C-alpha cells in the first residue's frame, strides 16, 4: 500500500501542481495525499450507496457540520495512520506538519454542528444507512483574532488547497425557486469513512450557483456590475454560515439559506424514491426518515408537501399524512431566542406558496385540537402561525412523528416545563437521546498516547467501536504503576499543548500547573464571565496573601463570540484584560496564568481536550441542553467542574459525584427562587463580589471607551443578573478550593481522572446513533459486503 500511495501522490502532484514530492509545499502534499487516498475508497463508497438504496435510509438535515480536518481522522478510520506516517517519514516529511497544513472545515458554530459531524462518523462506523445534507459554505463561521484584547473577525476560507475530500456531482444538480430568482443547487459529496469497515457513508453539501453566471449582453453594453449580478446573488446564499441577521436583508438571506438547503435535499430524496419505487408515495416512510437537526431545516416539512401536491398532484391531506410519517425533530435548546419564529412577510417575500402551505397545516392542526376539546385560549399556545410569525418548533412538533431532547435533564425540562402542553398532547412523540461523541476523533486520533495505553491494557482495539469496554479498566484503579503511566501521558499532552500555545499565542505555560480549561461557544448562559470574575477574585486574594496555599493554575479559555453579540464580545475583552493584568504581574510569581486562545476550532480542540486537568462546565442550571465538550474532557481523563446541568448530570451519575466538582443552584432551586432573586443583595453583602464587579466600572480595566464593561456591570446589577452569576459565586469559590485540595494529593487526583475515563463509555455517539436508528428511524445496520 505504501508504494501505491507514493506513486499516486507523485501523479497527483504532477497533474495538479506540476511539481515533484521534493519540491511540493506542505499544502500540496496534503492535497495530493488526500486525493491518493480518495482513489483507494471510491469502489467501497459506490458499493455502500448501492447496498443502502435497497432498504430504508435516514437523512440528517442540518444547517451546520463542524467537521474539522479530514486527513488524520480518515487515516485512523482506514487503519492507515501508522503506515502513511512511515511513508512520509521515508520522504523526510513530518505527518503532523501535513495535518497542520489542512484548513478546518469550520462549517458550524458549536455543539450542534459538531454533534452532526460525530453522528456522521458513528453512522459509518456502525454501518447505519444515514446520509447527511447541509450547505457547502464558501466561508466557515469566521476566523477570530484579538486586537488590543477585542475580538476581530475575518473570512474563514477553508478551501485554500481546494477540497480533495469531496466530489462535485454536476449531473445531480437540482433547481431551487424563490419568488425573485431561480438558482442551481450543486451537490458536493464527502465520503464519511467507517472505522474498521468497508462502509462509506455520504455527506452531501449543496453549493448555490446562478443558472447563468454571466450576462454577456449586459457586459458588452458596459454594464459590468449587472453582468455578474445574478452570480453574486446566488453565491451569497452559500457564501457564509449564519450571516448577521440584525437587519432585514440579513434575515432574508438566512431564510433563503434554510429554504435552499431543504428544497434541494427534499428534491434529492424524492428523486431517489421515484427512481427506485416509482411515483408511489404512500410508502415514502417505509424507505425514508428525515431527521431535522433543530429548527433551521423545518421548512423541509412544507417543502415536501409542496412537491407532492404541486409536482405530483397529490391531495393536500394525503401529502400531510405522508409528511407525518417521515419527519422527526431534535430540539437542542430551551432558550426562547433559539426556537425560530419567522416573520410571515419575509416568507411571503421569498416563497409565498410555502406560506400558503404552512397556513393550511395550521388550519388542519387547529381543527384537530378542537376535536380533542381544547379551548380557544389553549389552542393559541399551540398555533403554528400566530401574531404575524410562523413558529418553526411548533410546526416540527405538530407534524413530526418523534421529538427528542439531547440529555435526560433537558428532555425532562421539555416534558415537564417548556413543552409540557405539547407533551400532554403527544406523549408518545417525546423521547430522550443523550448526545455522544465519536471515540475515533476525540481519543484515538487526538490522544494517540492514551489510546495505545488503553489498547495495551485491554489487549486489543475493539474498544474504539465499543466504548463501554473502558469500564473494564476500573480493575486497574488501585495499581500505582498504571496510574503513574496514565498521569505521565496527561503530562505529555500538557507539554505538547504548552509548546503549541507558546508558538501560536506567545504565552509560556507551566505544564506542571493545573490546566483548568473552559472551551465552548461564547454565550452569557455558558458563564465565561463567572469564570473570569472568579479568576480576578483569586488574583486579588493572592495579592493580599502571598502565602495563599494553592497549586500553580493555568486558566485556559477558547470561544468565539458571534459578531453581532455585543455582550459576548465584551466578555472576550474583559477576560483578555484580566489575563494581561495577571500575566504581567511578577509579584504573584506566575502562580496563576490566564490565556484566551485565538480562533478556537476543532483542530485546536484536539490539542486542548487531552491536556485538560479540569473540565469547566458552568452554565446556569437548566440552560444547557446537553453539551458534548464535557464528554470529550471526560473521555480524556478530566474531572468535571460544573453545575448539575445538561449531560453533566449523567456524567456525574456515571463516574460518581466524589470524582467531580459540582457547585451552584439546581434547576429546582432556581425554579423556587424565580421572581425573588435580587442580585444587588449579593453585590452589597459580599466584599469579594463587589470588588470584582466594581472593577468593570472603576477604571481597573480599559474597554477603549466603548461602554462594554459598563454594560456587563449593568447586566449583573441593574438588569438583575439573569444567569445567576452572583448567586453561584461563593459556591464556585468553594468548589475551586476543593479542586486545589484534591490536586495536592497526586494519587487521589489520578484516581479521579482515571475513574472519569473508565466511565465515559456511555457517551459514545455510536450508542446515540444506534438509539436513533432503532427507536426513531426504524432502520437496520447494513454491512457493505461487496
Active site residues: 332, 520-521, 526, 628, 632
CA 552 – CA 515 distance, rounded (Å): 9
Give the CA distances from residue 246 to residues 251, 296, 564, in Å, rounded to whole numbers and listed in that order.
7, 17, 7
Q: What is the DSSP string of 468-491?
A: GGGGGGGGGTT-HHHHHHHHHHHH
Three-state DSSP class for 235?
helix
| H or E element at residue 755 | helix 746-758
The one-character DSSP state at 139 is: B
HSE, CB side, 13 Å, CA atoms: give it for residue 41.
Answer: 32
The packing angle between helices 248-277 and 229-237, to 10°, is 80
DSSP for 394-450, please give it: HHHHHH-SEEEESSHHHHHHIIIIITHHHHHH-GGGEEE----B-HIIIIIITTHHH
* Distance of alpha carbon 627 from alpha carbon 648, whole angstroms: 8
* CB-CB contact of 411 with 667 (8 Å): no
d(CA 195, CA 462): 11
Distance in angstroms (rounded) separating the CA atoms of residues 267 and 666: 46
Cβ-count burial 382-415 (b if 16+ within 10 Å, e if not)? bbbbbeebbbbbbbbbbbbbbbbbbbbbbbebbb
Residues 34 and 71 sit within 8 Å (Cβ to Cβ)? yes
Say how far apart CA 104 and CA 70 lie, in whole Å.
Answer: 8
Catalogue the E-assigned strands of 169-299.
174-177, 182-193, 200-210, 288-293
Q: What is the DSSP string of 334-375?
A: --GGGS-EEEHHHHHHH-HHHHHHHHHHHHHHHHHHHHTT--
490 CB neighbour count, 10 Å cutoff = 25
- Separation between Cα atoms, residue 183 and residue 230, nearest integer Å: 9
Q: How many CB atoms lie within 10 A of CB 586?
A: 7
- Segments in 79-187 forming alpha helices (H): 81-90, 95-101, 111-125
Give the separation between CA 777 and CA 466, rounded to whole angstroms.
22
- Give the 3-state secondary structure of residue 385: strand
Which secondary structure element, helix H or strand E, spans residue 59, and what is its range? Answer: strand 57-61
How far, in Å, CA of 195 to CA of 207, rounded? 28
Question: How many angstroms separate the CA atoms of 495 and 736, rounded?
Answer: 23
DSSP-derived pairing of the beta strands 553-558 and 640-642 = unpaired
Distance CA 167, CA 227 (A): 29
Amino acid at each position: 500500500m505504501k508504494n501505491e500511495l507514493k506513486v499516486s501522490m507523485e501523479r497527483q502532484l504532477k497533474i495538479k501542481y506540476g511539481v515533484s514530492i521534493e519540491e511540493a509545499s506542505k499544502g500540496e502534499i496534503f492535497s495530493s495525499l488526500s486525493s491518493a487516498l480518495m482513489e483507494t475508497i471510491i469502489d467501497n463508497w459506490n458499493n455502500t450507496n448501492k447496498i443502502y438504496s435497497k432498504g430504508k435510509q435516514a437523512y440528517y438535515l442540518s444547517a451546520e457540520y463542524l467537521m474539522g480536518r479530514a486527513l488524520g481522522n480518515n487515516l485512523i478510520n482506514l487503519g492507515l495512520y501508522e503506515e502513511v506516517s512511515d511513508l512520509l517519514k521515508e520522504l523526510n516529511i513530518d505527518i503532523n506538519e501535513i495535518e497542520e497544513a489542512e484548513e478546518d472545515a469550520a462549517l458550524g458554530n458549536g455543539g450542534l454542528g459538531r454533534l452532526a459531524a460525530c453522528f456522521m462518523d458513528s453512522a459509518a462506523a456502525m454501518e447505519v444507512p444515514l446520509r447527511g445534507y447541509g450547505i457547502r459554505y464558501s466561508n466557515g463561521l469566521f476566523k477570530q483574532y484579538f486586537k488590543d484584547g477585542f475580538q476581530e473577525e475575518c473570512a474563514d476560507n477553508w478551501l485554500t488547497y481546494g477540497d480533495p475530500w469531496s466530489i462535485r456531482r454536476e449531473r445531480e444538480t437540482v433547481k431551487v425557486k424563490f419568488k425573485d430568482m431561480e438558482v442551481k443547487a450543486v451537490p458536493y459529496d464527502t465520503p464519511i469513512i467507517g472505522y474498521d469497515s468497508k462502509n462509506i457513508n455520504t455527506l452531501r453539501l449543496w453549493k448555490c450557483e446562478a443558472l447563468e453566471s454571466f450576462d454577456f449582453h449586459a457586459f458588452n453594453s458596459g454594464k459590468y456590475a449587472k453582468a455578474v449580478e445574478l452570480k453574486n446573488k446566488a453565491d451569497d446564499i452559500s457564501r457564509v454560515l449564519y450571516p448577521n441577521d440584525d437587519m432585514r436583508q440579513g434575515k432574508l438571506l438566512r431564510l433563503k439559506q434554510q429554504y435552499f438547503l431543504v428544497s434541494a435535499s427534499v428534491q434529492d430524496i424524492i428523486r431517489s424514491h421515484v427512481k427506485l419505487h416509482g411515483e408511489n408515495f404512500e410508502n415514502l416512510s417505509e424507505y425514508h426518515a428525515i431527521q431535522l437537526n433543530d429548527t433551521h431545516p423545518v421548512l423541509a416539512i412544507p417543502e415536501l408537501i409542496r412537491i407532492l401536491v404541486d409536482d405530483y398532484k397529490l391531495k393536500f391531506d394525503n401529502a400531510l399524512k405522508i409528511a407525518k410519517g417521515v419527519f422527526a425533530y431534535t430540539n437542542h435548546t430551551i432558550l426562547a431566542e433559539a426556537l425560530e419564529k419567522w416573520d410571515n412577510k419575509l416568507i411571503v417575500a421569498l416563497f409565498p406558496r410555502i406560506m400558503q402551505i404552512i397556513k393550511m397545516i395550521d388550519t388542519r392542526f387547529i381543527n384537530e385540537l378542537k376535536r380533542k376539546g381544547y379551548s380557544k385560549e389553549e389552542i393559541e399556545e399551540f398555533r403554528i402561525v400566530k401574531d404575524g410569525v410562523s413558529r418553526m418548533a411548533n410546526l416540527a412538533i405538530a407534524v413530526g412523528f418523534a421529538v427528542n431532547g439531547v440529555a435526560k435533564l433537558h428532555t425532562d425540562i421539555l416534558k415537564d416545563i417548556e413543552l409540557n402542553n405539547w407533551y400532554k398532547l403527544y406523549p408518545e412523540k417525546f423521547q430522550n437521546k443523550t448526545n455522544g461523541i465519536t471515540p475515533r476523533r476525540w481519543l484515538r486520533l487526538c490522544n494517540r498516547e492514551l489510546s495505545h495505553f488503553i489498547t495495551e491494557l485491554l489487549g486489543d482495539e475493539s474498544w474504539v467501536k465499543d466504548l463501554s469496554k473502558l469500564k473494564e479498566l476500573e480493575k486497574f484503579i488501585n495499581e500505582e504503576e498504571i496510574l503513574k503511566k496514565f498521569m505521565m501521558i496527561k503530562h505529555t499532552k500538557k507539554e505538547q499543548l504548552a509548546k503549541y500555545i507558546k508558538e501560536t499565542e506567545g504565552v509560556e505555560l507551566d505544564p506542571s500547573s493545573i490546566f483548568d480549561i473552559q472551551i465552548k461557544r461564547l454565550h452569557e448562559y455558558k458563564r465565561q464571565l463567572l469564570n473570569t470574575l472568579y479568576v480576578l477574585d483569586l488574583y486579588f486574594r493572592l495579592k493580599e496573601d502571598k502565602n495563599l496555599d494553592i497549586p500553580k493554575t493555568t486558566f485556559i479559555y477558547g470561544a468565539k463570540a458571534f459578531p453581532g453579540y455585543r455582550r459576548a464580545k465584551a466578555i472576550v475583552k474583559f477576560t483578555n484584560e484580566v489575563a494581561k493584568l495577571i500575566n504581567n504581574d511578577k509579584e504573584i510569581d506566575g502562580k496563576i496564568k490566564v490565556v484566551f486562545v485565538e480562533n478556537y476550532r476543532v483542530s485546536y480542540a484536539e490539542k486542548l481536550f487531552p491536556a485538560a486537568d479540569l473540565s469547566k462546565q458552568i452554565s446556569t442550571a437548566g440552560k444547557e441542553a446537553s453539551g458534548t465538550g464535557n464528554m470529550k474532557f471526560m473521555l480524556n481523563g478530566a474531572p468535571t467542574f460544573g453545575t448539575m446541568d445538561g449531560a453533566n448530570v449523567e456524567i456525574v451519575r456515571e463516574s460518581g459525584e466524589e470524582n467531580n466538582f459540582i457547585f451552584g443552584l439546581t434547576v429546582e432551586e432556581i425554579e423556587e427562587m424565580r421572581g425573588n432573586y435580587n442580585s444587588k443583595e449579593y453585590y452589597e453583602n459580599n466584599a469579594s463580589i463587589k470588588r470584582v464587579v466594581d472593577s468593570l466600572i472603576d477604571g481597573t480595566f480599559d474597554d477603549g471607551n466603548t461602554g462594554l464593561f459598563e454594560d456587563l456591570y449593568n447586566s449583573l446589577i441593574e438588569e438583575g443578573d439573569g444567569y445567576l452569576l452572583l448567586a453561584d459565586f461563593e459556591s464556585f469559590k468553594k468548589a475551586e478550593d476543593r479542586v486545589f485540595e484534591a490536586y495536592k494529593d497526586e494519587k487521589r487526583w489520578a484516581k479521579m481522572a482515571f475513574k472519569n475515563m473508565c466511565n465515559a463509555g456511555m457517551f459514545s455517539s455510536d450508542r446515540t446513533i444506534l438509539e436513533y436508528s432503532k427507536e426513531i428511524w426504524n432502520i437496520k445496520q447494513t454491512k457493505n459486503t461487496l
